[in-house]
Structure formats: structure tokens, C-alpha cells
A and B are shown apart, each in its own frame.
Chain A
Amino acid sequence: MEAFDFVIVGSGFGGSIPALRLAQAGRKVLVLEQGERLTPQDFPQDWSFRAQARLFTTYTSKDYHVILRYGRGLGGGSLTYAAAMLRAPSAVFEYRDRDDYRVWPAAVTRSVMDPYFAKVEEEMTIERASWSDVPRAGGVFAMMLDKMGKTADRGMYPIHDCMQCGFCMCGCPFGRKKHLGHNYIPDAEQKGAQFRTECKVHHIEKDGDGWLVRYKDVHGIAQVVHGDGLIVAAGALETPAVLLRSKPWLPDLHPQVGKNLNNNGDVAFLFRIPETMPATYPYMGRNNAGVITYAFWEEHRITIHPGAGPPALVAAMDVYSEKDGPKVPLGYDFKHYVRDNYAKHLFPALAIGLTDGEGEVTVNADGIVEFVLPLNDRMKAYIDRVAGVGRQIAEANGAELLRTGGDTFEHGDAHPLGTCRIGDDDSRAPCTPDGELRGQKNLYITDGAAVPGGTGVNPSLTIAANAERIAAHILAKG
């Protein structure tokens, strides 16, 4: 049997970053990734289901009301992220839930995280967008904020010399958006780490003080490897699934594994602006449209991110006018509405905010991921708060807020977190503040599953910095 110092499941931010740090320290590292090794030629400018199925794993909640998805392939979500890499504000780390429980460990504050944020920013060459890189939709949004005396800030991205084609979330076909395949992964490989793609991990077993990882390789052949240490970083849905499938071999698995699923407080909506305002041309430019407003953070703990989106995404949303009430967008009225408004008068936006993680990931009898994300009174109140902020912006500009979701609710679909969260409380948090799964020696969680709550902004930089922090702890432990 092959043996390694560390086996890592997943090659996104949570997997590739520890892979590099451990390999730099001379550890023998194996990373198992279920997706393919992709190149820019594998990223089609195509939003069709057929094309997206290769790049994303998509999950529908048990009640069919919520869709979550994340990137698949060597580099995980970094391949298809919109690439907004923003530091989580200080208040994120101080957040207390409805039981007054501080979800982040007391020892993990913004000032503790700052050196790790900086490390990722340097490695991934993250820089602030120039105003010339802000697409029209972002510029219009900033003008709307300006008109009401509010601020909007240019975002931070690992994007250089952007073509502004509008397909970031299909993977960048021009190679201008930096993902892990441009930095951490090749650096780790140079230091000797092995990355094996198209390997699907089924479960893990204890093996003395180490671990056995059982997976099927690219040929569908069952394999097993040993790791003295193990990192599970397969994403906030698949990480708990690996652990829950392993329960027959881990009878003492922490009971909170899979609970506290948080969608980062994402709520999608659109603005329809009046004809007197400059046209939006929402198909032009990077999908995260260059600016963010922090203007509502102090009062509402919400940030808002305008998007540049192609019609396939905009028209696919279950969008409705507030004055009409929720309805299913069907027929020629909707078709004409999209034609008359899309190119000049519409742009999408995503609100991100702090909510309690009240969802749960489970596995069915076949070991397949299932999840729920309940639309309870707290979530309804949060969505109403988001809508109130959106309405405030719209009304100040003679624009209209378009809601999404119909009788369901349109969560943003890309930011699941918290299902194996770190924390101080043994009974509430499956992982210690330093990422070790309680009761399971030398088993660490380093991906979005470990991030204990919403990040107030796009979570990728926080996931990455937390992975850097845990990797440093593992190495310091010796």
C-alpha cells in the first residue's frame, strides 16, 4: 500500500494551499481530486447545462427549493469563481448567533487572520481593479450609490489584463483569471506533492494513529492509500459526506458534522433602471462587476455586489416585479420583458450578509449528498432586510427592485459554508479552532466546511487564509 505523510481530499483552496505548505516543509503529500485537470481550452464560453455539467457539481435541496453548486476540476472552485477576493470585515469574526454563541473561535480575529490574508493575496497576485476595469453594470451601480450619498469600492481580484468577455464563471478561456492551477498547485508539484485527478473518495478508516483513504481511481478501480495525517477539503457539501459515509468506521464521529450549513447569506436580485440612466450592457465584463458597496455594512451587516451576467443567467432566474408579486416567469410577456430590458436596463446583484447556518447536509442510503436550507422566519426576515436595502437604492434612483425566487427563495448558489465548522465549544463545533476534527487525531478540515459562518463578502479569500492558518498550525505542531 502506498503511504504518505499527508493525504488530502480535494484540490480547491482548502486542499491545494496545505498541499503546498506541507510539501515545502518536506512532507510527502498526495492530493485526490474528483474532477479533471483542465486547461483554458477546456473552458467554453457556454452557459448551457451540458457545458456546465463538466465544470460544476450541482446539488438540489431535498425540497427542490435551493440549488447549490461548486466547481469541479483540479483547483476546485477557483476554476469557475468570479474571483472577488475580499478580506472578511472584523465584525465577521465577532459574529454571535441566535444563542449568543460566538461562531468563530475567540483566538481567530481579523488581526490574527490578516497575515494569512496577505499571504494568499501575494501568492495569487490579487490587486485592486482600476476604474477602467469596472464594467458598465458596476459603474451604473456605483453611480446609483453616489446619487444617494453612499459609497462603493472597487474590488480585489487575481485578474490581470482582463479581456472582459463575461465568462469568468465558465472558467477563463483566456487564462487571465488566476486560479490555483497558476500558483499553489504547480508550486506544490514542484516541491514533490502528487495530484491525482478523477479520483472519487468514498470513505476513510482509522489506521493506527493514521488514516486509510478508500477511493476509485480514473479507471474506476478501487484503491486505498495510507496517510499519517489526513486533510478533508472536498467542499462544504462533500466534506461532511465523506465523513458521514465513514461513520461505520468512525462510530465516535462528532454529531455536528453536516450541520450548520450556511449559504453565506447570499440573496440574488436585479435592478431595472430607468431609461434616463446610462445603459448597463450587463453582458460586458467580468462577472463580478468591479465594485462592492460596504455602505450598508454597519447598519445591516450586508454587502452588495453588482454582477455582469449573460442573458442565460439573468433570464434563468425566477425574477418578478414586487408590484406583481411572486410568479413563475413564463410566456411571451416575460420573453418580451427580457428583450426590452436586458441589454440596457437590467443588471443582477448579489447581497451577502451574516446569518445563522441552519441548514444540514446528510447522505442517503447510497451515500449521496442531500441537504436542506430551511426558509424559516429568521431567513425570511433576513431576506426582507436585504430587499429593504435594495428597494432603498432603487427608489433613490427611480429604478425598480426585481425580486427572485417566487414562492421559493433565490439563494446565491455558490457559497456553502460551515458544515464541519471550527469553534471553541466542543458540543457545537466539530473542529477545534486549529481545524482538527474533534475526537479524530490527525484529521483536519481546511475548506469552506471549516469556515464557521458567513464571511460578509465572497468567501474564497477567507477559506484560503483559514487554510493557510491551519497549515501553519499543522507544521508548528510538528
Chain B
Amino acid sequence: MDRRRFLQTMSGWSLGVLLAAMEASDREAKADGVGYVSPGFLRKPLPGACIQAQTDTEKTLAAVLDTVVPGPQTDPEGSPGAVEACSLNVLLDSTFPFLQYADLFAGMIDQISNDTHGSPFIALPYQQRIDVLVAAVDKVPLLRLAYRAIRSAFFGGAYNGIGLDYVGYPGPNLGYRSIPEFSFRKAVCQELTADGRMP
């Protein structure tokens, strides 16, 4: 959520509290007893669409995204992945230090692909793509951070709520303290100290 979106959220604050209260009964009816406390407006997607891969580098990066967190073309369950979650926007965000290495990274991935499988990365089947990305980490450990960023963008809802919905997490919220399942609300263990301070 950026500053503008946060301010939007704050401007709807009283409405949010009302909606949260109205949702309480609905929450309790859900099968697992834990529903989404967040009013819908907390989950508005950021303005602007997913960046569409145009250049060769971008197409290779999109294939990497679809390997790290596969989407419907690759995942046998057909669920959305990093491409659908706009994770290419993350890699190409000027505030993320990966951008300056994008061409280098894509070139290296293709080189490993050609050396080991005789084809560029985008032409490889899924399992061979996995092998190439693992081999790439052995050559450049920093790539772990890029993979982390891709996973984090998907599961953290950096650009839209697709990953949040996938994992069953409501995202930005007004707090869970009134949700019965939030806490056991009783001592569940003996304590070593009387006042919380270790001697």
C-alpha cells in the first residue's frame, strides 16, 4: 500500500469500523471460524496494470517469474502465479536494486540454459527451468534475493491481492483482537519468572 492508498484507507476509517462490525456474524459462519476482517476497500489494487513483457529480457524475466511461482500455464492446479500478481513490476521497479542487473541476469539465465539444455530459458519445459534457476544460484548467490522478492511480492500482495487470496490471508486489516480465534486468552503454560524478567 502506498501513501495515497493508505490515506484513502484512513479517510474511510469510520466506514471501515462499521463494515468490520457488520462482517462479524458472517465471519462466525465461515467453516473454519476465521474470516476476513478487512473491508474490501483495504484491498484495492494499485493503479496501473501489470507490466507486459515486451523485450527479450522482460520475456525471460517473466518466464523466471512463472517458474518461481508458477501460474495457470505451468501449475497443474491452474492457479494464478507471480505473473498474474504483477511481479514483473517488482523486478522492474526502479527502487529495487535488481533493475540494474536485469539484462545481466537474463543473459546469464539464457547462457546456462543453452549450455545445459541447448535452448533459451523460455523454450525449456518446467523442470528444466527449475534446474537452471537452481544452477544460477550456485553461480550468483545474490539471486536468492531476487527469488525472495518474487515470492514475497506474490504472497505479500505487493501489486494486487491474488497471492493473498491464494494463501488465505486478508492482507491489510483493522486488527484481530476481537476475533475469538485470535488468542487462547488464558494461561496455556507454566512460566519461569514471576514478573517476566529473567534474573
Contacts of A154 in B (CB 8 A): 191, 196
Best-buried of B130, B133, B175, B183 by chain A (most CB within 10 Å):
B183
Contacts of B197 in A (CB 8 A): 86-87, 156
Whether A89 sits at the interface, judged by CB under 8 Å, is: yes
Contact B195 A128 (CB under 8 A): yes
- Specify the chain A residue showing the minimal Cβ separation from B5: A44
- Specify the chain A residue showing the minimal Cβ separation from B193: A153
Query: Across chains A and B, which 3 residue pairs bring their CB atoms closest together, nearest first?
Result: A312-B156, A163-B175, A142-B189
Contact B2 A332 (CB under 8 A): no
* Number of residue pairs A-B, CB distance < 8 angstroms: 242
Interchain CB contact (< 8 A) of B158 among A50, A63, A89, A314 = A50
Contact B192 A151 (CB under 8 A): yes
Contact A164 B155 (CB under 8 A): no
Interface hits, B103-121 → A, CB 8 Å: none
Contacts of B189 in A (CB 8 A): 142-143, 145-146, 151-152, 291
In angstroms, Cα B68 to Cα A318, docked, is: 12
Using a CB–CB cutoff of 8 Å, the interface residues on chain B facing chain A are 1-3, 5-7, 10, 32, 34, 42, 67-70, 74-77, 79, 81, 90, 93, 95-96, 126, 130, 133-134, 137, 140-142, 144-145, 147-149, 151-158, 163-164, 166-177, 179, 181-193, 195-199
- Specify the chain A residue showing the minimal Cβ separation from B138: A407
B110 to chain A, nearest CB (A): 18
In angstroms, Cα B155 to Cα A87, docked, is: 35
Contact B183 A134 (CB under 8 A): yes
Stretch at the interface among A218-226, A261-269, A338-346: A338-346
Contact B167 A343 (CB under 8 A): yes
- Interface flags for A400-426 (1: CB within 8 Å of B; 0: not) read 000000111000000000000000000
Using a CB–CB cutoff of 8 Å, the interface residues on chain A facing chain B are 41-42, 44-51, 53, 60, 63-65, 67, 86-87, 89-90, 110, 128, 131-136, 139, 142-143, 145-146, 151-156, 162-167, 173-174, 278-279, 281, 283-285, 291, 294-295, 297, 310-318, 327-332, 334-336, 338-339, 342-344, 406-408, 456-457
Contact B196 A166 (CB under 8 A): no
Contact A330 B181 (CB under 8 A): no
Contacts of B154 in A (CB 8 A): 315
Interchain CB contact (< 8 A) of A311 among B32, B148, B167, B192 = B167
Contacts of B75 in A (CB 8 A): 332, 335
Contact B1 A155 (CB under 8 A): no
In angstroms, Cα B180 to Cα A278, docked, is: 13
Contact B6 A128 (CB under 8 A): no
Contact B192 A47 (CB under 8 A): no
Contacts of B153 in A (CB 8 A): 48-49, 312
Contact A44 B95 (CB under 8 A): no
B4 to chain A, nearest CB (A): 10
19 residue pairs A–B, Cβ–Cβ below 8 Å: A41-B6, A48-B152, A49-B93, A49-B158, A50-B95, A63-B141, A65-B141, A128-B196, A142-B188, A297-B198, A312-B153, A315-B151, A316-B156, A318-B148, A328-B137, A329-B147, A334-B151, A335-B79, A407-B141
Given A136-B183, A142-B188, A165-B173, do A294 and B157 touch, yes or no (CB 8 Å)?
Answer: no
Contact A342 B167 (CB under 8 A): yes
Interchain CB contact (< 8 A) of B174 among A63, A165, A316, A339 = A165
Contacts of B77 in A (CB 8 A): 332, 336
Contacts of A41 in B (CB 8 A): 3, 6-7, 10
Contact B182 A135 (CB under 8 A): yes
- Specify the chain B residue showing the minimal Cβ separation from A340: B167
Contacts of B169 in A (CB 8 A): 283, 310-311, 342-343
Contacts of B176 in A (CB 8 A): 135, 163-166, 281, 284-285
In angstroms, Cα B152 to Cα A461, docked, is: 30
Task: Knowing that A152-B191, A285-B183, A311-B156 touch, tell me 20 more A-B residue pairs with CB under 8 angstroms.
Answer: A41-B7, A45-B1, A45-B171, A48-B153, A50-B93, A53-B95, A89-B198, A131-B183, A131-B187, A132-B185, A151-B191, A163-B175, A163-B176, A279-B34, A294-B193, A310-B169, A317-B148, A318-B144, A332-B74, A332-B81
B6 to chain A, nearest CB (A): 5
Given A163-B175, A318-B144, do A47 and B156 touch, yes or no (CB 8 Å)?
Answer: yes
In angstroms, Cα B164 to Cα A400, docked, is: 25
Given A128-B195, A329-B151, A335-B81, do A48 and B184 touch, yes or no (CB 8 Å)?
Answer: no
Contacts of B74 in A (CB 8 A): 332
Contacts of B5 in A (CB 8 A): 44
- Specify the chain B residue showing the minimal Cβ separation from A311: B155
In angstroms, Cα B27 to Cα A170, docked, is: 26
Contact B192 A295 (CB under 8 A): yes
A365 to chain B, nearest CB (A): 19
Interchain CB contact (< 8 A) of B67 among A49, A134, A295, A330 = A330
A57 to chain B, nearest CB (A): 13
Contacts of B95 in A (CB 8 A): 49-50, 53
Contact A163 B177 (CB under 8 A): yes
Contact B130 A330 (CB under 8 A): yes
